[in-house]
Amino acid sequence: MPDSGAAPLVVRDLKKRYGRQEVVRGVSFSIARGECFALLGPNGAGKTTTLRCCLGLTEAASGAISLCGYEVPAMARTARMRVGVVPQMDNLDPDFTVAENLLVFGRYFGLSAAQVRARTPALLEFAGLEGKAEARIQALSGGMKRRLTLARALVNDPELLVLDEPTTGLDPQARHLIWDRLKRLVQQGRTVLLTTHFMDEAERLADRLAIMDNGKIIGAGSPRAMIAQHIEPHVVEVYGDWNGAGVAAWVAQHAAAYAARAEISGETAFCYVNDARGLLEHLAGQSGLRSLHRPANLEDVFLKLTGRELRD
């Protein structure tokens, strides 16, 4: 029997290799009931592999996983009955209607057709797909498909909802709708684990998050705590005409006197400061330069911890 008081997910020292490459290198985290937890990281960091190990879809080399109170991989099938999964790629059945997709998925969880039919109106309402029960999958927009995949993941009334990049490829309107629905689920007390590389998504949704890179967690905490711990509170982005001297020379000559730290990306200088006044006054006297003063955010933390080089 599972430990009913257990955290929905506990991961200890997880390691996984593909061939010679160790892609998950000792990852540990746990998610409390009712919490929204985000796993962030650049492409190739090992997020999807970590999720797949947690769900028992691929076997780890070592480590311990408890999913909904069950040991994984030994009891993965049983554990998965309590989990809803929204995969990175929508895998709805194109030959079936919206309602039939819910029905087929519900049957997989051992629900009767009558049970699924009874749940269908509420699921479609939640997904903003009222009136679409008989629609073919091909007739749905990308946003609608994503929402249907989310509704489908709720068909078994899961204890834990796992979403792999839930809003990748969606337009802003569709993203906001998904965010709204995920917030609702957390408010209802559901536990959510998501991966994303959108910092604004993590900042809006996550109670806690972990940043992964090269198979390791390199920072974890609430979004606010992460910002307070890793970064100065103000950022002044400076760009424009560098009077022929170039951004690097300007940073060396001017920013260093005012900023605790400065980074250069392309033709923009990112100045991280505890108090922006001195730098802004200095900039007011510099013709040709423009600036944007904003509070530090999670993206600043992410870029500090993982660097600014491109990951392909």
| Contact flag: residue 43 with ligand ADP (CB under 6 A) | yes
Q: What angle do CA 195, 159, 164 make, to 5 degrees?
A: 15
Query: Collapsing DSSP states into helix, strand and coil, what is residue 99?
Result: helix
The H or E element containing residue 98 is helix 98-108
| Contact flag: residue 18 with ligand ADP (CB under 6 A) | yes
Q: Are 271 and 235 in contact (CB under 8 A)?
A: yes
Residues in the chain, total: 312
Number of residues that bind ligand ADP (CB under 6 A): 10
| Contact flag: residue 41 with ligand ADP (CB under 6 A) | yes
Taking the least distance from each CB to ligand ADP, the nearer of 18 and 108 is 18
CB of 143 to ligand ADP, least distance (A): 22
Query: For residues 32-71, b (16+ Cβ closer than 10 Å) or e, as one string?
Result: eeebbbbbbbbeebbbbbbbbbbbbbeebeebebbbbbbe
| Contact flag: residue 44 with ligand ADP (CB under 6 A) | yes
| Contact flag: residue 34 with ligand ADP (CB under 6 A) | no
Question: Which of the 8 DSSP states describes residue 97?
Answer: B
Question: Which of the stretches 43-51, 181-189, 264-272, 293-301 binds ligand ADP when contact is defined by CB under 6 A?
Answer: 43-51
| Contact flag: residue 128 with ligand ADP (CB under 6 A) | no
Taking the least distance from each CB to ligand ADP, the nearer of 15 and 107 is 15
| Contact flag: residue 223 with ligand ADP (CB under 6 A) | no
* 6, 10, 23, 75: residue in contact with ligand ADP (rule CB under 6 A): 23
CB of 63 to ligand ADP, least distance (A): 15
The H or E element containing residue 284 is helix 277-284
Taking the least distance from each CB to ligand ADP, the nearer of 41 and 106 is 41
CA-based nearest residue to 133, from 123, 143, 141: 123
Name the site residues for ligand ADP (rule: CB under 6 A).
18, 23, 41, 43-49
